[in-house]
Structure 1
Amino acid sequence: MNGIPEAGAAEVAPASSSRRRLVPLLLLGVAAALLAADQLVKNWVISTLPEERVVPVLGDFLQWYFVRNPGAAFSIASGSTWIFTTLAVIVVVVILWQIRRLRSIPWGLFLGLLLGGVLGNLTDRLTREPGFPVGHVIDYILTPWMWLGFDPAIYNIADIGIVSGMVIFVVISLLGLPIDGSPRARHRDHGRRGAARAENTGEDRGDGAS
């Protein structure tokens, strides 16, 4: 009957309300965990490791190499610290603004990793030597087999979070998942069901009139 709401519609509202609360919490939780891990390890590196000296961990596969990086991730574009500080602040503001639309778990994971990574390196630029807002980022993970340009990659946990988040973003983009958590396939399915109901109702009315 027209006055009785469908069961599916009643189930969608609580699920949407739950996602509205839980997915932003996922984003903030991932970001906070990544930021805490990044800063704790960086403090350990500063207090323990010698600067610019290789400390073997897994032979030539993984090594510690403590450097203070004035550039971007993986020691790219050194000497432009203030530019990356400004860009990082913009990224943080945009992510926090998007929380109001966020319902998708993959999007929440992507934005959480990106936010945590950006905040990790931004914290260095705002608080570490030579001072606000041009502090140097603490890099310490060296993988000699991974080359970027003419130098091997030297990075940190925040950089890993950023890159992992971007990998998830590529998958999200390929799958076409919207940030509001409403898969297109579900919309198409509801559309087909609605058309089928309308067609069946028309046929029933036609049968009753004959």
Structure 2
Amino acid sequence: MTDHAAMTTEQLGTFARASAGAVRPSRVRTLARVATAVFLLDVGTKVLAVGLLTPGHPMPLLGDAVTCALTRNAGAALSVAAGYTAALTLIVSGIAIAIAWMGRRLTSPWQALGFGLVLGGAGGNLVDRVFRAPGPLRGHVVDFLSVGRLPVFNIADAAVMTGAACLIAVVLFRTE
């Protein structure tokens, strides 16, 4: 009996070591669900913003503190690198591919959440870069949320920043 019990314990240890690097389906699903939700919410709100808002005419949501103000951004966050829209498009595409590839190696649900937020936001802004005027790889991103003195942003921008903060917290606090 004891030989059988020892063998079972040894087999379990081998299985646990072999499984440690395996894909965690629940984490991959979390990443995919979060990315999809952010992507759809971002694209949907941009369609509404373009259809309902007029540039230069902000619409108050919460008094003057939060307004909807339609703008187009050729650059990255804060309109940095406005002359490099094609390069930004390629860089964001590379980041999205890297996150999708890394998704199989996630070690924590917080990583799945963080990477899902970044991937969904990157995808939402990438759609604008590819399909909006002035043309493919040069499209301007639709921004429409204005909070206080912050630059105008969109759901994708908020998701990317939140996802990055989540990933930084994972590293700093070693959250499993």
| TM-score range relative to shorter protein | 0.7 to 0.9
**Partner deviation per Cα, 1:1-51 (whole Å, 9 max, x = no partner):** 4323179759958x9699711110110110000000000010011111001
Superposition pairs of residues 55-134 of structure 1, within 5 angstroms: 55-134=59-138
Q: TM-score, normalised by structure 1?
A: 0.73
**Partner deviation per Cα, 1:122-176 (whole Å, 9 max, x = no partner):** 0000011111011010000112333xxxxxx110000000000011011111123
Counterpart of 1:20?
24
How many equivalent residue pairs? 171
Rg: which structure is higher?
1
Distance across 2 between alignment mates of 1:48 and 1:3: 68
**Partner deviation per Cα, 1:80-119 (whole Å, 9 max, x = no partner):** 2112101101101111111221232011011100000000
Q: What amino acid is aligned across from residue 59 of structure 1 in structure 2?
A: G
Q: TM-score, normalised by structure 2?
A: 0.87
The DSSP-based 3-state class of the residue aligned with 2:9 is: coil
Structure 1 residue runs of 4 or more that deviate by more than 6 Å after TM superposition: 15-19
Distance across 1 between alignment mates of 2:173 and 2:158: 23
Structure 2 residue runs of 5 or longer lacking an equivalent are: none
Q: Is the 8 A contact 1:23 1:105 kept in 2?
A: yes
Counterpart of 1:149?
none
Q: Which gives a bigger RCO, structure 1 or 2 (Cα 8 Å, sep 6+)? A: 2
Of 161, 168, 183 in structure 1, the residue corresponding to residue 166 of structure 2 is 168
Q: Is the 8 A contact 2:58 2:69 kept in 1?
A: yes
The DSSP-based 3-state class of the residue aligned with 2:172 is: helix
Aligned identity (percent) is: 31
Counterpart of 1:158?
156
